[in-house]
Each structure stands twice: as C-alpha cells, then as structure tokens.
Amino acid sequence: MDRVVALVRIDDLVAGTLGAQTFVESTPDGWWYVARLPGERVVTVFVTDPAMARVLTADHWDGWRRALAGTQLFAERLAGLALKARPDTARYRVRSIRVSRLQPVAGAGWLAVGDAAAELDPIAGRGMHDAASGMRGRRRVR
C-alpha cells in the first residue's frame, strides 16, 4: 500500500542513562525513534521513503548521521550516552516496512487476523485493536 523503509543503527550502550521508553521525533522527511534493547544496546531508526534513504545512506551513511545530528530531541539525548559502535556491517541496516494487507483475508472456514492479515507501520500502535478484531473474527468463523 506504500513504500517505506527503516534505516536502522544498533550500538552498545557503554555509559549513560536511557530509560525503557521508546522516543519518537518527526521531521519533514520522516520520523525517528530511539529505544533501549536488551543486552545494553540502543537502536536508532529513521523511517522514510526509499529515495531519501538512498541519499542518507550514500557515503557510508554520512547523510544519516548528519540528519540525526540535526534532530531536536535525539541529538542531545544520544550525545549524553557513551555508545560503542559495532562494525559497520552489524551496525547499520535498511529494512522495508511497507504497509500491506492479505487479499483475500478470509475463506471457507478461515480468517486471517492481526499480523497474519496486515503488516502495519510499527509506530501505528494497533496491536490492541487488531487483537480485539481477531476475537470478533473467531466468533464469525465458527
């Protein structure tokens, strides 16, 4: 239904404080989020369209680092952390996060619900809604 990619960087947290919350910041070209991961790691993600992704990942991700440095919330927050960079091959990734849905979503005796029926933008926060729709759908298939 759309074309969106996530530009992902993972670092090891050496020192500093980063809570368990996921932080989100929008920019004209997409949105950023930063979250703490298990194992004292930090993930920094920029979600944008493929054309912008190509610009930001050129020259060994220099554009991505410049865009991150220009954020209002994250530049300061990440500057306060001591991060140990992983090798570039493990540190940076590009992932498709296209929004899509299964067609058809139902057939004789079956109904796809939740993640089986649709892939959504991860920031949409529709997990509870989709779980409830699955329960309603289960009653209809019987």
Any idea what the CATH number is for the domain that residue 28 is in? 3.30.9.100
87 lies in the same domain as 34: yes
Phi, psi of 134 (to 5 degrees): -65, -40
108 lies in the same domain as 38: no
17 lies in the same domain as 68: yes
Res 53: pLDDT: 93
Percentage, residues of the chain above pLDDT 90: 17
pLDDT exceeds cutoff 70 at 126: no
65 lies in the same domain as 36: yes
58 lies in the same domain as 106: no
Query: Which whole number is the average pLDDT over 42-56?
Result: 91
Q: How many domains does the chain have?
A: 2
Considering the entire predicted model, what is its pTM?
0.70
Res 50: pLDDT: 92
12 lies in the same domain as 49: yes
73 lies in the same domain as 90: yes
* Tens digit of each residue's pLDDT (9 = 90 or more) over 10-40: 888 777 777 777 788 999 999 998 888 888 7
14 lies in the same domain as 46: yes
120 lies in the same domain as 86: no
pLDDT band at 134 (very low <50, low <70, confident <90, very high): low
12 lies in the same domain as 37: yes
Task: Tell which phi-psi region holds residue 71, choosing left (phi > 0), alpha (psi between -120 and 50) or beta.
Answer: beta
pLDDT exceeds cutoff 90 at 62: no
108 lies in the same domain as 44: no
pLDDT exceeds cutoff 90 at 55: yes
Domain that holds residue 131: 100-141
Task: Tell which phi-psi region holds residue 112, choosing left (phi > 0), alpha (psi between -120 and 50) or beta.
Answer: beta
Count of other CB atoms within 10 angstroms of residue 46 = 24
71 lies in the same domain as 106: no
